[in-house]
Chain A
Amino acid sequence: MKVLVPVKRVIDYNIKVRVNQDGSGVNLNNIKMSMNPFDEIALEEAVRLKEAGKTESVIAVSIGVPESQTILRKALAVGADRAILVEATDDPHIDIEPLAVAKILKAITAEEKPGLILMGKQAIDNDMNATGQMLAALLGYGQATFASKLEIDGDTAIVTREVDGGLQTLKVRLPAVVTVDLRMNEPRYPSLPNVMKAKRMPCDIRNPAEFGVDINPRLEITRTVEPREREAGVIVDSVDALVSKLREEAGVI
């Protein structure tokens, strides 16, 4: 079995995002970009499946700007066997929508025939939380989203999901789409020799048109603004002062 891992290039999660004052979007100039944290976890899980002999190979795929090669190289350094970059735009401000991404991933699935697609539950830039569900729909596959535990058992996967009420366990027929939550594992850091080796590994460059996918957006972004700022509060010097503020000033207790 092969595992396909879609990985997205996003602003590093440690960076404080700045919104352009003219409402046109967020500032991406000279900003550190990284692999989406959820995708690092999906990739780690795929590599662990390979190390446990549950899968033969791991294929990382990214859709976006040419610079996304950097995160694909990281995926190779961590243990992916192959990388595919679908160059969909040259403009880092253009976000390819989940529906278009899912259609491209469907086409790649038809070529590669993975037994499992392991991906992040959410991209931390658009926070859409949709691509995995959409891909599973287009493929007619089962899905297990927000997974914190995954076990391959023959031609099924047993998946524990983090849901609003606690934990839920499902058995999904393979091939399937699994989207991962934060607690599935701790991603490793690639070793320096592996980083060097990954630099020389091939990366397959593709184009959305080859797959016949229309990537024109369905959502027009008309404005991006900063959220409402909270007014600065006060520091109180004792528990008594806090209790009296909450009672008398705020009236919340």
Chain B
Amino acid sequence: MAVLVIAELNGTQLATDLTAKTLTAAEQLGPVDILCASAGCGAAAEAAAQFQNVTKVLCADHHYYGNGLAEPLAELIAGLASQYNHIVGPASTSAQNIIPRAAALCDCMMISDISAVIDQDTFERPIYAGNAIQTVRSKDTIKFITVRSSAFDAMPTGGSAEIVQIECTGDPELSIWLNDDSAATDRPELTSAKIVVSGGRGLGSPEDFALISLLADKLGAAVGASRAAVDSGYAPNDWQVGQTGKVVAPDLYIAIGISGAIQHLAGMKDSRVIVAINQDSDAPIFQVADYGLVADLFSAVPELTEKI
């Protein structure tokens, strides 16, 4: 039986990187269909149809799904679930909101944030903020899964799947969307960037956090932050990296003025190369850093920005 992948959408646009990495995990489980559900998602469905190894794209184009609300989307997915053995989405806030709800509607357990597929029923997933890796075997007939995208490569394009319009199940109107508050940026997306520059409490103020942005812009990097930096108002919540923020694994991660608490490491320790700049030589971040520089960030970071 087949696998249903829930496409990640930003409004009506396909989030290609997250969807492509989810597909790579899903493709190991069987033939893949993709569900695109939103209001006016025709172009997203066409984009999804271009991934390799996709049989068909189910397009649920209706205003019920326009704001990504969990209640109508979970109902839609639960209605389709009996035709599949696996329902798979990225471990994004959107899919993580919807897929457990759909799982419970089908009386199935949830398997969140898998980092490897062992076989059709068996998966690896990090627990305890990544301090342990658990192997679980599911006894459910339908497995509801979210995927840690940083652990999988992106599925290439070059395919041409069939697109079918599907019936929309309705909206129970349990919740109403009021607004989205997201800042547009020209920087690469945090979870797909090749380089991430992150700042912590050591930056000391929102004004000085600009040192991080300047370095990031010079490198064409995304900007990340520790929880302390977000809590202190230096950076918006969607920049947080860690156990409760985003999980990233870029080629290069530069941690500046970040101590390296386990909850922060949970979100970045699988990066290929890690650089830490911190004035405290005992900071735990140095235990995971490939290159450490013990220095005052207020002199080191401008110098680095200039010399790179």
Q: Which residue of A lies closest to B15 (CB)?
A: A164
Q: A133-B97, A164-B94 are in contact. Are A225 and B133 (CB under 8 A)?
A: yes
Report how far A242 CA is from B306 CA in the complex, Å.
13
Q: Which residue of B lies closest to A143 (CB)?
A: B70
- Tell me which of B37-45, B158-166, B202-210, B269-277 binds A: B269-277
CB–CB A250/B244 < 8 A: no
Q: A124-B243, A166-B182 are in contact. Are A129 and B132 (CB under 8 A)?
A: no
Q: Which residue of B lies closest to A141 (CB)?
A: B174
The residue from A124, A167, A219 contacting B136, defined by CB atoms under 8 A apart: A219
Q: B129 at the A/B interface (Cβ < 8 Å)?
A: yes
Report how far A200 CA is from B236 CA in the complex, Å.
44
Q: B211 at the A/B interface (Cβ < 8 Å)?
A: no
In this complex, the interface size class of chain B, counting residues with CB under 8 Å from chain A, is 35 or more
The DSSP consensus for interface residues of chain A is mixed
CB–CB A134/B70 < 8 A: no
Q: Which residue of A lies closest to B262 (CB)?
A: A16
Q: A130-B100, A226-B132, A250-B273 are in contact. Are A163 and B176 (CB under 8 A)?
A: no
Q: B237 at the A/B interface (Cβ < 8 Å)?
A: yes
Chain A residues whose CB sits within 8 angstroms of the CB of B128 once the complex forms: 11, 17, 26, 124-125, 127
- Tell me which of A52-60, A77-85, A95-103, A188-196 binds B: A95-103
Contacts from A to B (Cβ < 8 Å): 11, 13, 16-17, 19, 26, 97-99, 102, 121-122, 124-131, 133-138, 140-146, 148, 158, 161-173, 176, 181-183, 217-227, 230, 232-236, 238-240, 242-243, 245-246, 250, 252-253
Q: B51 at the A/B interface (Cβ < 8 Å)?
A: no
Contacts from B to A (Cβ < 8 Å): 10, 69-71, 74, 92-94, 96-105, 107-113, 122, 125-140, 172-183, 195, 219, 227, 230-231, 236-238, 243-244, 246, 251-252, 262-263, 269, 272-275, 281, 286-295, 300, 303-304, 307-308
B84, chain A: closest CB distance, angstroms: 17
Chain A residues whose CB sits within 8 angstroms of the CB of B263 once the complex forms: 13
CB–CB B176/A219 < 8 A: no
Q: Which residue of B lies closest to A158 (CB)?
A: B178
Chain B residues whose CB sits within 8 angstroms of the CB of A122 once the complex forms: 244
B26, chain A: closest CB distance, angstroms: 19
CB–CB B178/A170 < 8 A: yes
Report how far A244 CA is from B35 CA in the complex, Å.
47
Report how far A176 CA is from B101 CA in the complex, Å.
13
Q: A134-B101, A134-B110, A183-B231 are in contact. Are A243 and B304 (CB under 8 A)?
A: yes
Chain A residues whose CB sits within 8 angstroms of the CB of B138 once the complex forms: 218-220
Known interface pairs A133-B98, A146-B97; 4 further A-B residue pairs with C-beta atoms within 8 A, sorted by A's residue number: A127-B129, A143-B70, A218-B139, A236-B291
Report how far A29 CA is from B288 CA in the complex, Å.
27
B113, chain A: closest CB distance, angstroms: 7
